[in-house]
A and B are shown apart, each in its own frame.
Chain A
Amino acid sequence: DVKVTQSSRYLVKRTGEKVFLECVQDMDHENMFWYRQDPGLGLRLIYFSYDVKMKEKGDIPEGYSVSREKKERFSLILESASTNQTSMYLCASSPLRTGRYNSPLHFGNGTRLTVT
């Protein structure tokens, strides 16, 4: 079974702090994604990566950066946390191809970040 592990379940940070959210997957997936989830707004894609050291912006990349130094690990970085970044952050992974297009996404259980 695919396992996507997010390092923290709950996190409280102060405004202006640099915040690292870590995600590790154990299935050798090429693709990894970061979403944020807010009531009434659904899941919104922040960044994704389809290979080591590769990244692409999603729909709401402002205020975030990412790092993919190893295939299994995808980090989301908030350079200077702000209160409007208080949210649930979800990491997901999927293989590039499995013989059928569009393999499903496998999600972690999320990190609930509160910025005070």
Chain B
Amino acid sequence: DAKTTQPPSMDCAEGRAANLPCNHSTISGNEYVYWYRQIHSQGPQYIIHGLKNNETNEMASLIITEDRKSSTLILPHATLRDTAVYYCIVRVANTNAGKSTFGDGTTLTVKP
């Protein structure tokens, strides 16, 4: 699986958009980009994933650059409950269990 690089921490004002970047310059053609978040004392929670097209769901939007070497997770209207560690990972596509490599993630702090 490709390695990812994320900033260690970010702040965001409540109600504003939070844009979390992720670099995955060694991503291969069959690897998807996944985003998870981990709120304190809970297990990681899946947010969104994509291959090359931009994706949106009820939680967030995922923007993947055309060369697929980086992506941005967008929380359009951040709330205090969005304060968490956000993980960007890439996973190889195969028929068996993929090994997901979670780095240190980005600690997002949403401030009132």
Q: Which residues of A approach B to under 8 Å, CB–CB?
A: 4, 30-31, 33, 35, 40-45, 48-50, 56, 58-59, 90, 92, 94, 96-97, 101-102, 104-110
Contact in complex: B44, A43 (CB < 8 Å): yes
The verdict on A58 contacting B44 (CB below 8 Å), with A104-B49, A105-B36 known, is no
Which residues on the B side are within 8 Å of A94 (C-beta)? 97
Main secondary structure of the interface of B (DSSP, over half): loop
A102 CB contact (under 8 Å) in B34, B41, B102, B105: B34
**7 closest cross-chain pairs (CB), A and B:** A107-B43, A43-B102, A101-B93, A104-B46, A31-B97, A50-B97, A102-B32
Q: Which residue of B lies closest to A101 (CB)?
A: B93
Contact in complex: A105, B95 (CB < 8 Å): no
Say how far A106's CB is from chain B's closest CB, in angstroms: 7
Contact in complex: B98, A108 (CB < 8 Å): no
Alpha-carbon gap, A40 to B82, bound state (A)? 21
Which residues on the A side are within 8 Å of B98 (C-beta)? 102
